[in-house]
Structure 1
Amino acid sequence: MDLDEFLLAPRESLNIELKSWIDPSTPEGKAKIVKAAIALRNFNGGHLGIGISDEGVPLTSDAPKNLDNHFHQDTIQALITRHSSETFEISVKFGKFQGVRFPFIVIPPGTRTPVAAKVGILDQSTPPKELVKKDTVYVRTLGANNTPSTAAALFSDWPQIMNVCFDNREADIGNFVRRHLTGIDIPSLLKQLSGEPVESQITAVDAFLNQCRQRFIEIPKSDDAKDLGIGRVEYAFIINSAEVRQGIRADDDFLSSFMYANPHHSGWPLWMDTRGFSKPSDRPRTRSGGWEVLIEDYIGSFILPHLDFWRVEPPGSFYHARILLDDAIAIKNGNNPNELFSIDLVINGVAEAISVAISFANSMEFPATDTTLEFAFRWSGLAGRQLSAYNPARYISPGRICGDDEIISHTNIPLDLAPSSIPSLIPDIVGDLFSSFNGMRLSKTVIEEIAREQLNNKY
């Protein structure tokens, strides 16, 4: 995660906890770190940011002078190891805002059993107060007002905890199978074993995709709008469930539940939460029974230029469009847009969109066994672009030029799909897109590896 970029607009979510400045040498400071670390581990990883208010404001004037000593990685690691029932390796990273450094404690994913506090922490005041309770499982949860917080697990939290543990165990099994069945088309094999696949109902999701694109085109732009290139990527998905939802409105509760369910696999995630943005025009607004956001940043005040539009409609239609990151990077570097198209950025976006969709649908408590997600992906402004890689370590042979201007891909997946299985879906989704670049065929192993790296990110 780009911590400098995050500090420009900090926001709390279920996998990001923010705390004002604390002293890790005090019982109160130790307790906050231990509880947050255990809770984030039980949520399959995340970040604990220090020195940021509940309102998302970096507290530059209160930063301690001995920051490196207070938040030395070995000190924080020893604290968490002493109090956590499971040993897991954390890291401490620093972001900078207005010349001030802010520590972030990074909790990795991968928990396979619920994590509890094995040793409590007491406040030695009179009478003593138990700040961390021994044998207690802490979780990240939404309170009564749909605000993320850390608390002791209730009975309603256990399905989420167990899902995380089972998903990670399933990932272990998947890695084992992948090692021993290299070269076999696993998705096709699974379809054959489960019978005839359900055909994707692409008519409805395509109609929604086109309606939202038209809204994006027609919505008034700011007076300082500039050319950010012609490339666009769009994601749309519809929740298709046997359970019909009634009475769900585009109100504050719906928006909060939607925002806090975002797993944040990137520093500038899909369906960005802009409620705390300084420009009122960037914030969500209700239109035609749904929530919409248009983010315009033509000068790149958030590291890169941005032009994002998203729309969500209850109970379950979601759309997101943005300029191609290749063009934003080119403009920021003073180069021409409309020239490159990076394979890894495409794969990252598709993987994130599917992960976000599953998280959203689960947060809305649709029945996992009777719900599917219908997807449409569209890339446009492609003609004449050359295929490339954002990661310089990945080599793409030159001369792979796209002859099509627009490519659309579809897929449908069951809601009970384990997150660890998402990478295996992506080669089929991006296959036609890559082949439009002079027949480019990218290895399934490479595609899945890139997707897996993205999904393991928690910002």
Structure 2
Amino acid sequence: MTIDLTDLVDSPREALDIELKSWLDLSEGVNKANLARHIAALCNHGGGYLVFGFQDDFSVAPDRPASLDAYNHDVFNAIIKRYLLPTFECHVLKVESSAGQEYPIIHIPGHEATPVCAVRDGPQDGNGRPQGLRSGTYYIRAPGPESTPITSPQQWSALIRRCILNDRETLLREMSHVLQDKQTGVPGIEERLSAWDKANGERFDSLLNAAQNFSWPVPLADNHYRLSYLIRHEDQHIPINQLRALLEEVNNEVRDTVWTGWSMFYPFTRPEIAATVHPENPDGTGGDLLETNLIGNGQFDTSMPDFWRVAPDGRATLVRGYREDARLEDPGQWLSPETVLRETAELIRHARAFARHFPTASTVSFRCTWTGLNGRQIRDIDPSIYWSPGRIATATKRITGGEWPVVKLNTDWHQIVAELGCPILTLFGIDFCSKEMVAGMAPRFVKL
């Protein structure tokens, strides 16, 4: 299945969270120092990507190496350990473009409570000056884009705010044992979420009905799941022109918990599938929101017919068909327990990351609807995961939901996944689903 990073190599671009590089000799000291500067800046920006194989004009770089083996995990993490503090790990992926060429993409995570600093000079030039980066310097992404030393209060401001948010989350995690465990049950929240969820279900139905020559192995209208959440806060809405970039940042954060290569709420940039601004209501009224419609009119050999909407006030809904119907024989017959729990975990992690952008966020409410279950049998997409046969659902639909303090999305997410996801599996006779089961599966949620 095409991963969402294919967008970066099919439509290469540079942005504050994306740095394009041509093919480099990674054994050369100056190249390592320059990469360390970009890595530090991307990390201090909140995370991003180094994409190799492209020139500054976005064209494919010449002199492609015969092998991409030099672009590996050990090389880049050695650069980080040599030049930067605190150290962290990046992820190296080889992403195939639609034209069939592979390109290395390095995923740089965002910093935690402490920003990343250069702790060693780059190699000296003929005049004794360090090249690439200078010890004791904090780098940040700046318009251009470029990776530069922090020189202004404005550049420090965004970095300090992220540090405070990360430190706040750590503090809340450490204090969570004194917080109340019960759900808050704020009047009106459940009704608002239900209305939002229902409206997006109707929007999905209308787009599906309008799609011509649509092809999916089973009737998608009756075989999909809809995952929604609502963040309770007292802040101003995020400006709509900032929401796309914010979702890219959120998507970056989610990948520490779930990363399959097909992310929820991923803001593609190719014009035919890019997230676009829509009014909330069918009659053109209501506020603006971002919407992505991948239902399209064609085949889905390398993608999924996703539909999602995100509102600037902290509401989000994703509608997705069962990937089991596209990946296994006998479509419509199977349900993967790992997929149910992993998708639920990704929704919770996304809500947690989005909530960080609302300083007064207190709770998040979830509503999860799984339909088309009747007659499906338990089976995992991964053939190495075995489930005893004969676990068949007799109910068509299951809706779960609840409301939790934001801190619980960090400190107790295994339990929340269990409360939202296990009722679906119970319909199949899996009566042993629990937060311990979720915790045991969790390492498999990051597949890249």
Give the TM-score, by structure 2 length.
Answer: 0.78
Conserved? CA contact 1:271–1:320, under 8 Å: yes
1:48: which partner in 2? Answer: 50
1:20: which partner in 2? Answer: 21
Conserved? CA contact 1:19–1:48, under 8 Å: yes
Deviation at 1:407, TM superposition (A): 0.8
Closer, same or farther: CA 439–124 of 1 in aligned 2, 3 Å: closer
Deviation at 1:342, TM superposition (A): 0.6
Kindly indicate whether residue 339 of structure 2 is the aligned counterpart of residue 350 of structure 1: no
Closer, same or farther: CA 69–378 of 1 in aligned 2, 3 Å: closer
Closer, same or farther: CA 372–169 of 1 in aligned 2, 3 Å: closer
Please state whether the residue corresponding to 1:206 is helix, strand or coil.
Answer: helix
- Listed one character per residue, the Cα deviations across residues 118-170 of structure 1 (whole Å, up to 9, x for unaligned) are 1122673779576323123345x6x679x897864614312423544675798
Which runs of structure 2 are paired with 1:30-179 in the superposition (5 Å)? 30-39=32-41, 48-52=50-54, 59-65=59-65, 67-68=67-68, 70-71=70-71, 74-88=74-88, 92-97=92-97, 98-105=99-106, 114-121=115-122, 124=125, 128=129, 131-138=132-139, 152=150, 154-161=156-163, 163-164=165-166
Closer, same or farther: CA 64–343 of 1 in aligned 2, 3 Å: same
Kindly indicate whether residue 184 of structure 2 is the aligned counterpart of residue 198 of structure 1: yes
Conserved? CA contact 2:124–2:131, under 8 Å: yes
1:414: which partner in 2? Answer: 405
- Listed one character per residue, the Cα deviations across residues 206-263 of structure 1 (whole Å, up to 9, x for unaligned) are 11111110111112533221234232111111222244x36x65x3233333343323
Conserved? CA contact 1:13–1:261, under 8 Å: no
Kindly indicate whether residue 337 of structure 2 is the aligned counterpart of residue 367 of structure 1: no
Which runs of structure 2 are paired with 1:288-307 in the superposition (5 Å)? 288=284, 289-296=288-295, 298-301=298-301, 303-304=302-303, 306-307=304-305
Question: Which is worse superposed, 46-55 or 311-320?
Answer: 46-55
1:322: which partner in 2? Answer: 320
Conserved? CA contact 2:169–2:407, under 8 Å: no
Deviation at 1:205, TM superposition (A): 0.8
Which runs of structure 2 are paired with 1:265-344 in the superposition (5 Å)? 265=255, 266=259, 267-277=261-271, 279=272, 283-287=275-279, 288=284, 289-296=288-295, 298-301=298-301, 303-304=302-303, 306-330=304-328, 335-344=329-338
1:448: which partner in 2? Answer: 439
Partner Cα distance (2:399, 2:149) in 1: 43
1:254: which partner in 2? Answer: 243
AA at the equivalent of 2:322? L
AA at the equivalent of 2:36? V
- Structure 1, unmatched stretches of 5+, are 175-186
Please state whether the residue corresponding to 2:423 is helix, strand or coil.
Answer: helix
Deviation at 1:346, TM superposition (A): 1.1
Deviation at 1:329, TM superposition (A): 1.6
1:182: which partner in 2? Answer: none
1:235: which partner in 2? Answer: 227
Give the TM-score, by structure 1 length.
Answer: 0.77
Conserved? CA contact 2:7–2:269, under 8 Å: no
Partner Cα distance (1:74, 1:211) in 2: 48
Partner Cα distance (2:77, 2:53) in 1: 19
Conserved? CA contact 1:205–1:237, under 8 Å: yes
Partner Cα distance (2:105, 2:71) in 1: 9
Deviation at 1:283, TM superposition (A): 4.4
Partner Cα distance (1:148, 1:435) in 2: 52
AA at the equivalent of 1:233? Y
Deviation at 1:69, TM superposition (A): 6.8
Closer, same or farther: CA 61–149 of 1 in aligned 2, 3 Å: closer
Conserved? CA contact 2:374–2:396, under 8 Å: yes
2:369: which partner in 1? Answer: 378
Partner Cα distance (1:150, 1:399) in 2: 60
Partner Cα distance (2:72, 2:211) in 1: 45
Conserved? CA contact 2:391–2:428, under 8 Å: yes
1:212 aligned to which of 188, 200, 207: 200
Closer, same or farther: CA 360–347 of 1 in aligned 2, 3 Å: same
Question: Which is worse superposed, 315-324 or 27-36?
Answer: 27-36
- Listed one character per residue, the Cα deviations across residues 248-305 of structure 1 (whole Å, up to 9, x for unaligned) are 65x323333334332353322111212324x2x654242343222211354235x24x
Please state whether the residue corresponding to 2:330 is helix, strand or coil.
Answer: coil
Partner Cα distance (1:60, 1:13) in 2: 14
Conserved? CA contact 2:46–2:111, under 8 Å: yes
Conserved? CA contact 2:268–2:275, under 8 Å: yes
Partner Cα distance (2:293, 2:103) in 1: 29
Closer, same or farther: CA 257–443 of 1 in aligned 2, 3 Å: closer
Deviation at 1:19, TM superposition (A): 1.8
Deviation at 1:399, TM superposition (A): 1.0
AA at the equivalent of 2:242? D
- Listed one character per residue, the Cα deviations across residues 18-51 of structure 1 (whole Å, up to 9, x for unaligned) are 4221423556632342134335556787653322
RMSD: 3.9
Deviation at 1:443, TM superposition (A): 4.0
AA at the equivalent of 1:226? S
Deviation at 1:108, TM superposition (A): 7.1
Closer, same or farther: CA 437–74 of 1 in aligned 2, 3 Å: closer
Partner Cα distance (1:40, 1:453) in 2: 27
AA at the equivalent of 1:290? L
- Listed one character per residue, the Cα deviations across residues 159-185 of structure 1 (whole Å, up to 9, x for unaligned) are 4235446757988x79xxxxxxxxxxx
